[in-house]
Every structure is written in structure tokens, then in C-alpha cells.
Amino acid sequence: MTVVDTASGKVRGVREEHATVFRGIPYAAPPFGPRRFRAPQPPEPWQGVRDAADFGPTAPKHPYAPPLDALLPDPDVPGEDCLNLNVWTPSPGDGRLPVMVWIHGGSFCHGSNSVPVYDGTAFARDGVVLVSVNYRLGVEGFAVLPDAPANLGLLDQVAALEWVRDNIAAFGGDPDQVTVFGESAGGISVAALLAAPRAAGLFRRAVVQSGAPMAVPPGKARRTTRAIAGRIGVPATAEALRTVPVARTVEAQRQVLAGGNPITGGAGFHPVVDGDLLPRDPMAALADGAGADVDVLMGTTTEEYRLWFVPSGLTERVGPLMLRLAMLRKRVPRAAARLYRANRPGATPGEILGALATDLLLRIPQNRLADARPAGRTHLYEFAWPTDVRGLGACHALELGFVFDTLGSSAVQALTGPDAPRDLADAMHAAWVGFARTGDPGWSAWDPTRPVMTFGSGPDAAARLVHAPREAERKLWR
């Protein structure tokens, strides 16, 4: 047992293989009762030593719908003290080690820091202090209400980073060597934090996995909040929603969000341009120089869309007419469909639509951001290895087990299968560790040749540097 003194009190961790682990440390007070729909408040100090052996409560959320629930295990830990974090450290006395702070994904309404794929043991084994964070989800974290701050979930993330700044040295970490990284909604969060003036100085490096800078106007985001409040039968205000049990709010949220997904759209939660935490659209702010002093690593999987299209059967249901209508709605040039089809012989209309959507939502915005950033500060990657599970290919979230080097977990194998290439995990995990240490993941920084490290390409599933992949398709989106 190891005891560490934090600003709020002492915590007792447990020694496990390669790491001393502290779980469920509160970085803010429970966001319920009078604190519900308010900015995060400091945790109440405690006397004595707080046991930190077990994961803390998860934020209120509804489960993934089948079959995603089997592919993406999402533990639910009851309790109100959900604004907590976990720390894996080689040893609290090791010195000033690089720190990585993980922000989980899940469409801003799923996920937690207790998901098995996010185990930080491999990072600690390799000399990095790994911190994983919970934040408020769904209505509790991203509702747009006239009498409450917007972006509460992002404010939670800022509070967690402030906790890291103030406390991580006691766990062996260097507060001046912090890398914040996240995937999907976590990647969108990292991009938003890059653009947020309030987060400036809290991290030195950032990794954006399968996300892009984006935020929506309050009016658009308010529609989801109003639909959920209407389902409950109360006004869309914090005052009214505080009277509604959390479980009822979560169920109404599940009903309103059913059927949508990040690729095809529908009701959902997003960061909001609120004039406070996010004064401007994050992409515009970053293109104008926000976060220019932060090293950035970002990338996507090759077939992001397959996680939503394949299990739902959408790949087969999309016909030529539906493809044309979707292209009209998204204002996709006709030439794009012709080129994407020519480059993918035998692809169905659903696969063409998925490839177009992946580029429109993720790959093209990342390329544009890389072009706008200062020379030498940005690296890009693509994860191309295809899983055999359910025909999901190189789908969204597949790279996570490789980044965290957790391929041995049965929960991770639900998506990767049992025979995922060990060497590829070694290479990808080492790149993330190298980036956290030096800002260099091991390949050329972005320049006019457009270098992209492609993990899992070719029959040998190797990592190869590719210059300007699918350049003809990218140029269609200028």
C-alpha cells in the first residue's frame, strides 16, 4: 500500500504489476443536489486516508444499444461522486515523469474511466504517469439551459486538468510535461480544450484520435435539450430539471437519442460555442493560432463508419438513391462519389457513403487543421488494420487497444478478436509514449509532402510512413 498526500487529503493506492494505482480520486464535488447543472466545485477535504483501490462512480448514462453493448463494454458504477480520476504511476517517488491525461469517448453520453481498454498499466510500465478522467455526460454535462452554464462536461475536464497541475507531482508526474489525449468525443473534447483560453497552459501536448475541432451554436444544441425536457414534461431549464430524478432524465435521453449516430446524425450532444469557455468555433480559433504552442498528434481509422453502419445493417440498406439524397443534404460534389467509387471497386453504396462521411467529418478537417498549424508542431497517423470481428474492418475505436497496449483483455478482444497483431500494438503504444516524452512520435512532422504514419497497412500489418494518402480524394474537398 502506498499513501500520497493530495490537496484534499491523503489517498491510499495499491501496487499492481508495473504500477501503483490510485482509483476513484475525486477532483471535484459530486454534481448533484444544489450543485446539479452548475460549474464543478472543489471536492470536500477528508480526514484520515481515503482508500483508492476501486474505481469510483461513473457519470449517469444509458447503456449502448445492442450489438454495440457487446463490442464496447461500458461499466456502470453507482454513486454520486462521479467526478473522479484514476492514476497509474511507476512509483510516486520516481521523479518528474511525463504525464498523459485520458479523456474517454462515447458520443458525450457513454463511457467512463473504468472501461477495461483504458487500463494504464502499460503506460506506467514505460515510464509515463497515466491519468484517466470521468466527466458529466448527456443532459447533465451538455444540456443547453437558460439558467446554467453550457459545456459543463468540458468544464469538468478543465477542473481535472487543474487537479493534475496541482497534484500530479506527488504521484511522480511533471505538471509541465502533460499530454492530454482522447478519442471520438474525447478527441473532440481535446480539440475544444486546445481552443479554450481557460485551458491554456494546462497541457503541453495533445492527441486527437478520431475527432476534429467542432462545436455547434447554442440554438442547434438546445433542440436536443428541449426534446428531452419535453419527453419528461418539464420546461427546459435547470430549475425544472433539478426536480427530476437523474434516472428519469437518463431514460428520456435514451429515447430521444435512439436511432442517431455520429455519422448519420440525429439528436445528440456536442460542445457549444457559448461565448465563455468556447468564445469561438474551435476550428476557426485554431486556424487563427490558438494552441499554436502545443504539439499535436492526430489521426483516424481508415473505416471509421463501419462501427455504426455494419452492425446496424445500414451498409446493405443504403441504395443508390439514398446515397444521392445523402450527398445532396451534405452538399457533396458529384465528382466525389464517382472518384470514391472508382477507388473502391465492388463497394456498396453504403460503403461509399461511409467513406465520404468519414472524410467529411474527420479526415478532411484534420488535414485542414494540420495545414493551418505552425511547421514542426503537428503529426498525423491513420490506423488501417482490419479486425475480423463482424466484418467491422478498420472501424472507429479499434485502435484503442493498441494505443493502451491492452490487447490481452477479453473486453478489448470483443472488438479486436483474439489474434490482433502484438507487434502493431508495440509500435503504436511506443509512438504515443514517445510523443508524450518529446513531442516526436517517431516520424516526420507535417509538411507539404503530407506524411501520415499508417499503422497496420499491407499483408504484414506493419507501420509505414505514407505521403499524401488518397490525395485525389482530399483535393475534392477544397
Averages of pLDDT over each 10 residues, the chain, 478 residues = 94 95 98 98 97 98 93 96 97 84 98 98 97 98 97 98 97 97 98 98 98 95 96 98 97 91 80 97 96 98 96 89 85 87 94 94 97 97 97 97 97 96 97 98 98 92 95 90
Give the active site residue among 184, 189, 210, 457.
184
Is 184 marked active-site? Answer: yes
Measured torsion, CA atoms of residues 159, 161, 165, 169, in degrees rounded to the nearest 10 = 120
- Per the DSSP assignment, residues forming a β-bridge with 300 are 382
The whole-number pLDDT of residue 336 equals: 86
My answer on whether omega of the bond before 30 falls inside 30° of 0, hence cis, is: no
Q: Which residues contact 413 (CB under 8 A, 6 or more apart)?
A: 407, 420
The whole-number pLDDT of residue 94 equals: 62
Domains within the chain, CATH numbers bracketed: 2-475 (3.40.50.1820)
Q: How far apart, in whole angstroms, are the C-alpha atoms of residue 333 and residue 475?
A: 11
- Per the DSSP assignment, residues forming a β-bridge with 50 are 11
Give the active site residue among 303, 304, 351, 399.
304
Measured torsion, CA atoms of residues 172, 202, 84, 238, in degrees rounded to the nearest 10 = 170
Kindly report the pTM of this predicted structure. Answer: 0.97
Backbone angles phi, psi at 13, to 5 degrees: -95, -175
Nearest 5 degrees, angle CA 113-CA 114-CA 119? 90
Is residue 336 within 8 Å of 476, Cβ to Cβ? yes
Q: Identify the three-state secondary structure at position 137.
A: coil
For the purposes of burial, counting CB atoms within 10 Å of the CB of 288, is it exposed (0-12), middle (13-18) or buried (19 or more)? Answer: exposed
Is residue 39 within 8 Å of 155, Cβ to Cβ? yes
The closest alpha carbon to 362, from 169, 76, 105, 27, belongs to 105
The closest alpha carbon to 395, from 7, 72, 50, belongs to 72
Is residue 133 within 8 Å of 127, Cβ to Cβ? no
Helices 320-329, 349-358: axis angle to 10 degrees equals 20
In 209-319, alpha helices (H): 218-232, 238-241, 246-257, 282-287, 306-312, 314-317
Give the active site residue among 396, 399, 429, 457.
396
Q: Which DSSP string corresponds to 161-221? A: HHHHHHHGGGGTEEEEEEEEEEETHHHHHHHHHHH-GGGTTS-SEEEEES-----B-HHHH
Q: What share of the chain is helix, strand, coil (3-state, %, to 5)?
A: 40, 20, 45
Beta strand 378-383 pairing with 295-301: parallel
Q: How far is CA 312 from CA 68, 72, 132, 260, 305, in A?
A: 9, 15, 30, 11, 11
Residue whose cell numbers read 469538468 = 156
The whole-number pLDDT of residue 458 equals: 83
Residue whose cell numbers read 482522447 = 182
For the purposes of burial, counting CB atoms within 10 Å of the CB of 333, is it exposed (0-12), middle (13-18) or buried (19 or more)? Answer: exposed
Q: How far apart, in whole angstroms, are the C-alpha atoms of residue 194 and residue 203?
A: 9
Q: How far apart, in whole angstroms, are the C-alpha atoms of residue 399 and residue 405?
A: 10
The whole-number pLDDT of residue 324 equals: 87
Q: How far apart, in whole angstroms, are the C-alpha atoms of residue 73 and residue 76?
A: 10
